[in-house]
Structure 1
Amino acid sequence: MNLHPWLQALAGGVLIGLSAVVLLLLNGRIAGISGIAFGLFERARGSEWAWRAAFVLGLVGAGVAVLAWQGAAPVSPASTPLLVLAGLLVGVGTALGNGCTSGHGVCGLGRLSGRSLAAVLTFMATAIATVFVARHVLGVL
């Protein structure tokens, strides 16, 4: 089945929102991916560790399933060192912002959090500036 790109985006957004609501209703937890993943290594024990591991494995498993379904991975125009640098910068930004786009953007905005609104506006402004500089100043993308 080959869906139009906007339908794929809509379906993905609905599934992300649904998973955030289910996690909140069934577990009383916010679906902030960075907090869930970092919790695996910092403080989680027993059942706390198990649900976090299941959540992260579900994320990875979904990506693997889509890759198997589509038959090929998308290829990035960026070099591997640039992708590694970008990943490290995202990690630093996540730590500085006390959360990531899933925690602030999906869950925080849904709860009308002012702190999350400030974080999302910062994420978006930074992303826009980064793409502008990368494409139009450095010409790397």
Structure 2
Amino acid sequence: MHSFLLAFIGGLLLGVAVVGYLFVNGRIAGISGLIAQILNPQSIFKTPALWFLLGLFITPFIYGWAFKPEIIMATTNPLLLMIAGLLVGFGTRLGSGCTSGHGICGISRLSVRSIVATCTFMLAGFITVYVMRHVLGTSS
């Protein structure tokens, strides 16, 4: 029950943050779009994206300090992580957004494009896990 409650509260906070960002700034809170805004040198300090992303970065440290959660270490091949990161970046550009933009913001606005994109992300993830675990026999 405890983990369910924490997941519920986390989802609720995420929803409030996304709706609040849309209401206040008139833009969706898709992470790839926010990162693109802060990578633009002319608008880095003019965009609220910087503060939103700083909040996303700092909040886990505050949570860890306040609640002292159990630390889980993920171990995998660093080269595999780099390749995965590059593929995610490529997919984000190809799909004109990431899972936060399409999956959270787009689906909540009933965007057909976002529903299709999110289903595509999820299907690709399912297939990747199946191939990695059951065809190639790797666990990570």
Give the shorter-chain TM-score range.
0.7 to 0.9
TM-score by length of 2: 0.87
The 1:70/1:90 distance shift into structure 2, 3 A limit, reads farther
After superposition, give the CA deviation of every residue in 1:59-108 in whole Å (9 maximum; x if it has no partner).
Answer: 11012223434356421142222222211211111111100111101110
Runs of 4+ in 1 over 6 A off after TM superposition: none
Compute the RMSD of aligned alpha carbons: 1.9
1:56-95 pair list within 5 angstroms: 56-68=53-65, 69-70=67-68, 73-95=71-93
2:28 partner SS: coil
Q: Which moved more, 1:65-74 or 1:112-121?
A: 65-74
Contact 2:44 2:50 in 1 (8 A): no
Structure 1 residue 43 displacement after superposition: 6.3
TM-score by length of 1: 0.87
Matched, 1:100 2:107: no
Contact 1:78 1:140 in 2 (8 A): no
Matched, 1:53 2:50: yes
Distance 1:129 1:46 in 2: 37
The 1:79/1:67 distance shift into structure 2, 3 A limit, reads farther
Distance 2:76 2:60 in 1: 20
After superposition, give the CA deviation of every residue in 1:19-53 in whole Å (9 maximum; x if it has no partner).
Answer: 0011111111101111001111136526533x111
Distance 2:100 2:87 in 1: 17
> 2:53 corresponds to which letter in structure 1?
V
1:112 partner SS: coil
- Name the residue aligned to 1:114: 112
Q: For structure 1, which runs of at least 5 residues remain unmatched after alignment?
A: none
Distance 2:42 2:109 in 1: 25
2:46 partner SS: helix
> 1:62 corresponds to which letter in structure 2?
T
Distance 1:54 1:62 in 2: 12
Structure 1 residue 5 displacement after superposition: 2.3
Q: Report how many aligned residue pairs link the two structures.
A: 138
